[in-house]
Chain A
């Protein structure tokens, strides 16, 4: 049988406003990863993929990967690179790692992501985000922090499909309540009621405070290896990376691929590729991690991922489908809304949660979960990344 890549385990740091440098966070993430896989030694790791966007700007650390390798005591022999796809950094890293492991170039790869977002003066964080969009065009129009852009998406979805603020609040209530049980989450142990969600202060109409994920400092690390090496590193059930898809159509508002902002055909396409490679369909997904940077994002994502019909995402989330006793529990570790969002660290954080779900050891465990899906959007909804895991390999 051909070589199969698996996710062995991993770790995340506490997310939040952290009194730490980015290298502290990479070290904490690696430590959490080694706590999760006690047999793992630095010398077992032959490849390192370091995912970060802000390093170089917020932490003067260009050519970051060798610096991180040194701090972690890893001496890579197959690959040692930095990767930046903003919010999808470490999920992109997992796609690369799967290819390297299955081709035989690497055996054991650590995919790690971290961001130090908060600076000594708060203005700098918003200002830096001008460099994360298309700087000379959209950013020069004032597009920096994401809420205004996603607020337009929400207004358009409400207008075209009748989505309501109450339906959006179902997403924040579900994800905050998942996050309240997860000590690593930015907002742990906060719970949320519908009443609180709907009466929160306005951020950018129609979004209140709980419709928007926070920016967070934090780090994460996962180990991707061949199935053979995974059996030596851990006794847990194997979790295979069954299929992946990544689709980029534009980096600028001029190239928006949808009929309006409420349609995300580029996500639909990324998902089609991943489903095909994984040989599963949307119906097969038992548990999902979708990129809930805003409540409206999760609503559009469940539509484009095929969990419900286009335009019915609001009704789908309000039906309880995303809750722990629902048909497809989603963002079971708190998601971006409660767990927080250190860009390059989010993908590995999501993937670790799905690894735990498929190994039967998650905090909010979905009974009998066998197939799981993770999704990131990145940039100003310019690119979509989908990775599908399973307890069995693609035959």
Chain B
């Protein structure tokens, strides 16, 4: 009969202090991992952009490396409207995923008839519960989100990141 070797350890100490990309709530945005890194570089400059096909003129969202209508690779970056109207919305008071502070407000946004992208789901920040109403106008907000490390040869490089949400135009 083998002896039991005891070890009073809770959790996964092997992973303590490590970055786990598969558990990350934000995208990998850097050029080493994402061919659409330009979207995030544009966000940093306050631009909300996507890719448009030079061949057929189709504007896709999210941006990509081919046109989903004609499969052309000849794409260009174009600006999208930064203001939208709230069609309907929802306020979460409990059970939001870790990393999203309460109240978590999400809205179904209409970008208007001239926008190539009619609807998007958007998180509404800087807004108290009960403040948002249907038909309110919202605008783009860009903010920094946690950086992550990547291994480049034997060095660790830190990749800074940004993301976006919307806030009420008062």
B residues in contact with A156, CB < 8 Å: 87-88, 108
**A123-B98, A148-B106, A254-B119 in contact; A130/B90 too (CB < 8 A)?**
no
Q: In whole angstroms, what is the CA distance A143 to B119 when docked?
A: 15
**A152-B88, A159-B88, A205-B91 in contact; A145/B108 too (CB < 8 A)?**
no
A195 at the interface (CB under 8 A from B): no
A233 at the interface (CB under 8 A from B): no
A59 at the interface (CB under 8 A from B): no
Q: How many residues of B contact A (CB 8 A)?
A: 29
B17 at the interface (CB under 8 A from A): no
Q: In whole angstroms, what is the CA distance A120 to B1 when docked?
A: 31
| Interchain CB contact (< 8 A) of A136 among B61, B62, B117 | B62
B163 and A140 contact, CB distance less than 8 A: yes
A135 and B27 contact, CB distance less than 8 A: yes
B18 smallest CB distance to A (angstroms): 17
B122 and A148 contact, CB distance less than 8 A: no
Q: In whole angstroms, what is the CA distance A155 to B27 when docked?
A: 30
The chain B residue sitting closest to A135, CB to CB, is B27
Q: In whole angstroms, what is the CA distance A252 to B123 when docked?
A: 14
B13 smallest CB distance to A (angstroms): 16
Q: Is the interface of A mostly helix, strand, loop or mixed?
A: helix
B residues in contact with A137, CB < 8 Å: 62
The residues in B between 1 and 28 inclusive whose CB is less than 8 angstroms from any CB of A are 22-23, 25-27
B127 at the interface (CB under 8 A from A): no
A148 and B97 contact, CB distance less than 8 A: no
A127 and B27 contact, CB distance less than 8 A: no
A141 and B122 contact, CB distance less than 8 A: yes
Q: How many residues of A contact B (CB 8 A)?
A: 35
B121 and A253 contact, CB distance less than 8 A: yes
The residues in A between 146 and 194 inclusive whose CB is less than 8 angstroms from any CB of B are 147-149, 151-152, 155-156, 159
A103 smallest CB distance to B (angstroms): 29
B61 and A143 contact, CB distance less than 8 A: no
Q: In whole angstroms, what is the CA distance A143 to B23 when docked?
A: 15
Which residue, A127, A138, A148, A204, has most C-beta atoms of chain B within 10 A?
A148
Which residue, B89, B117, B121, has most C-beta atoms of chain A within 10 A?
B121
A319 at the interface (CB under 8 A from B): no
A residues in contact with B97, CB < 8 Å: 126-127, 129-130, 142, 144-145
Q: In whole angstroms, what is the CA distance A149 to B104 when docked?
A: 12
The residues in B between 99 and 134 inclusive whose CB is less than 8 angstroms from any CB of A are 100, 104, 106, 108, 117, 119-123
B106 and A141 contact, CB distance less than 8 A: yes
Q: In whole angstroms, what is the CA distance A142 to B163 when docked?
A: 12
A383 smallest CB distance to B (angstroms): 16
The chain B residue sitting closest to A158, CB to CB, is B88
B residues in contact with A253, CB < 8 Å: 108, 119-121
Q: In whole angstroms, what is the CA distance A149 to B105 when docked?
A: 11
A152 and B89 contact, CB distance less than 8 A: yes
| Interchain CB contact (< 8 A) of A254 among B27, B61, B92, B106 | B61
A140 and B25 contact, CB distance less than 8 A: yes
A residues in contact with B165, CB < 8 Å: 141
A141 and B25 contact, CB distance less than 8 A: no
B96 at the interface (CB under 8 A from A): yes
The 4 A-B pairs of least Cβ separation, nearest first, read: A253-B121, A136-B27, A144-B97, A148-B90
- What residues of chain B have their CB less than 8 Å away from a CB belonging to chain A? 22-23, 25-27, 61-62, 87-92, 95-98, 100, 104, 106, 108, 117, 119-123, 163, 165
- What residues of chain A have their CB less than 8 Å away from a CB belonging to chain B? 57, 123, 126-127, 129-131, 134-145, 147-149, 151-152, 155-156, 159, 204-205, 252-254, 256, 260-261
